[in-house]
């Protein structure tokens, strides 16, 4: 199995590390590669879009001619796992808590609406134990200027939620082979979500 990690900005090597750990724990003969150009999309069984800054990732990907091939590959069935900014990249609809509707380059494959910086300034970063469908026990969610899923339609499904300021919002979404988390599972050393995604890939 060969999994790419989009390597333009953000927590790239944390995901490479988590993938290698997850391969080992699952007994998968796997390879993790950092993807910086479209030719490296060839032969991948899945791609991780890391956290960082979604506008930067989108703008750089577009500038170097990687965004369209990446979007095409995902639309043609390449499974994607996006964390935080990566989840924003996968969403079809994006708004920003502060500036409202955002026009930014996206992959836009998942039937979800995401609000960037949902938790605002006061709670820029926090950690919370989450219940996630399909994951046994609690999962420590590390949220850093995190987004939240405010709507899901079509074949997207929210599989974890939290309550914030009287509202219930989604923090994990799935759609077929695609997985998106508002938080950073690559920062805790807990590979359960990486493993869940890898197991869902029919390779
Ligand atoms: N706030 C960032 C964005 O809007 C995401 C932050 C993160 O990935 N930790 O893209």
140-169 residue pLDDT tens: 999 999 999 999 999 999 999 999 989 999
Q: What's 151-167 look like in SS3?
A: EECCCCEEEEEEEECCE
**Distance from the alpha carbon of residue 197 to the mean position of ligand 1, in angstroms:** 21
Give the chain's domain count. Answer: 1
Residue of minimum CA distance from atom 4 in ligand 1: 116
Q: What is the CATH number of the domain that holds 111?
A: 3.40.50.880
Ligand 1: which residues within 6 Å by Cβ?
Answer: 51-54, 84-85, 88, 116-117, 144-145
Q: Are 90 and 82 in contact (CB under 8 A)?
A: yes
**What's the rounded Cα separation, in Å, for the pair 171 and 157?**
11
pLDDT (tens digit per residue) in 7-24: 999 999 999 999 999 999
Burial class of residue 16, CB neighbours in 10 A (0-12, 13-18, 19+): buried
User: What is the domain extent for residue 129?
Assistant: 2-202
pLDDT band at 122 (very low <50, low <70, confident <90, very high): low
Least confident stretch, 41-50, 114-123, 180-189: 114-123
Q: What is the DSSP letter of 39?
A: G
**What's the rounded Cα separation, in Å, for the pair 131 and 40?**
35
pTM: 0.96
Average pLDDT over residues 171-191: 97
**What's the rounded Cα separation, in Å, for the pair 67 and 81?**
16
**Distance from the alpha carbon of residue 55 to the mean position of ligand 1, in angstroms:** 9
Pocket test for ligand 1, best of 114, 146, 180, 187 (most atoms within 8 A of CB): 146
Average pLDDT over residues 104-109: 96
Q: Which ligand 1 atom minimizes the distance to the CA of 51?
A: 8
Q: E strands within the chain?
A: 2-6, 31-35, 46-49, 80-83, 91-96, 100-101, 110-116, 125-130, 139-144, 148-152, 157-164, 167-175, 178-181
**Distance from the alpha carbon of residue 7 to the mean position of ligand 1, in angstroms:** 16
**Distance from the alpha carbon of residue 29 to the mean position of ligand 1, in angstroms:** 32
Active-site residues, by number, are: 84, 184, 186
**Does the pLDDT at position 200 exceed 90?**
yes
Q: Are 131 and 138 in contact (CB under 8 A)?
A: yes
Which residues share a beta bridge with 112?
Answer: 152
Q: Which ligand 1 atom minimizes the distance to the CA of 54?
A: 10
**What's the rounded Cα separation, in Å, for the pair 139 and 131?**
6
**Does the pLDDT at position 101 exceed 90?**
no
Average pLDDT, whole number, for the chain?
A: 95
Q: Which ligand 1 atom minimizes the distance to the CA of 56?
A: 10
Six-digit token string for 105: 């380059």
């Amino acid at each position: 199995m060969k999994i790419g990690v989009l390597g333009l900005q953000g927590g790239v090597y944390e995901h490479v590390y988590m993938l290698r750990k997850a391969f080992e724990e699952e007994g998968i003969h796997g390879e993790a590669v950092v993807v910086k150009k479209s030719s490296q999309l060839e032969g991948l069984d899945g791609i991780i879009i890391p956290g960082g800054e979604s506008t930067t990732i989108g703008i750089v990907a577009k500038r170097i001619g990687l965004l369209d091939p990446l979007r095409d590959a995902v639309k043609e069935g390449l499974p994607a796992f996006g964390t935080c900014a990566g989840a924003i990249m996968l969403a079809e609809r994006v708004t920003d808590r502060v500036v409202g509707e955002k026009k930014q380059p996206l992959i836009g494959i998942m039937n979800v609406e995401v609000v960037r910086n949902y938790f605002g300034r006061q709670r820029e970063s926090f950690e919370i134990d989450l219940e996630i469908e399909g994951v046994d026990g609690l999962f420590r969610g590390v949220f850093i200027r995190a987004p939240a899923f405010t709507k899901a339609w079509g074949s997207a499904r929210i599989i974890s939620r939290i309550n914030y300021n009287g509202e219930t919002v989604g923090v994990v979404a799935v759609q077929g082979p695609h997985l998106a988390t508002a938080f950073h599972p690559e920062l805790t050393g807990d590979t359960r979500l990486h493993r869940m995604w890898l197991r869902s890939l029919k390779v």
